[in-house]
Amino acid sequence: MIVVFDWDGTLVDSAGAIVCAMQQAARDVGLPPPTDDAVRFIIGLGLPEAVRHLYPQGDAAQWHALGQAYSRCYVEQTEQLPPLFPGALAALERLRADGFAVAVATGKSRRGLNRELAVRDMGHLFDLSRCADETRSKPHPLMLQEILADSGRHPREAVMVGDTLHDLQMAREAGVMEVAVSFGAHCRERLLDFGPDLLADDFCTILEWVYRIRADGCGRLQAR
């Protein structure tokens, strides 16, 4: 069985840093800064898709400039990396120790993810990872499909854990079980409306559910 985690807003408490960086980037390139809610909605998308969603009336030059400014602002604002959510590291270590395959599917760039994995010394915890700049952005299912193909897992043997509708839609289109976390970028009500297999408030709940799924031989449980 493979458990696939989103990064920002699921394992890492970075939504606030992303909001601040995007708002500063917009000011830097002469655009009106987006609202907090607008930025929180696009967390998880690839950067090109995110800036186009925020400024649909813009043009290619503006989108490129904003993307470049955001990347610079985010690195500047996260010299001290945002913290992992409580229980995240212990959950990853337990899953690996107990024979689960573990992967990351993220809207971050490959450079951004590698930076964080290296600084946090977490690369050994993941068998596979896919980033938005090397495949299709969420919510397209290709990112998950590639992880499944590389790991040799059937969709029924996989769980996607994420904090946004983009994660859940990607999982649903790939035929993968959907776990939403309530402490990330998208609010509980929005996630519940989508109807995931599980909405979890902490990593202990996720582990309990995943172990039960494995014991039952994989397959979907009724959504809570």
Buried b or exposed e, range 88-112, using 16+ CB within 10 angstroms: beebbeebbeeebbbbbbbbbbeeb
- Mind spelling out the 3-state secondary structure of 19-46? HHHHHHHHHHCCCCCCCHHHHHHHECEC
Instruction: Please tell me the distance from the alpha carbon of residue 74 to that of residue 72, in angstroms, as a whole number.
Output: 6
139 vs 99, 136, 202, 209, 217, CA distance in Å? Answer: 28, 8, 24, 24, 27
Per-residue tokens: 121: 């010394």
Our answer to whether residue 8 is catalytic in this structure is: yes
Instruction: Please tell me the distance from the alpha carbon of residue 2 to that of residue 148, in angstroms, as a whole number.
Output: 8
Task: Spell out where 123-162 has E strands.
Answer: 128-131, 158-162
Our answer to whether residue 6 is catalytic in this structure is: yes
- Residue 180 is inside which H or E element, if any? strand 177-181
For residue 180, report the phi and psi dihedrals to the nearest 5 degrees: -105, 140
Catalytic sites, residue numbers = 6, 8
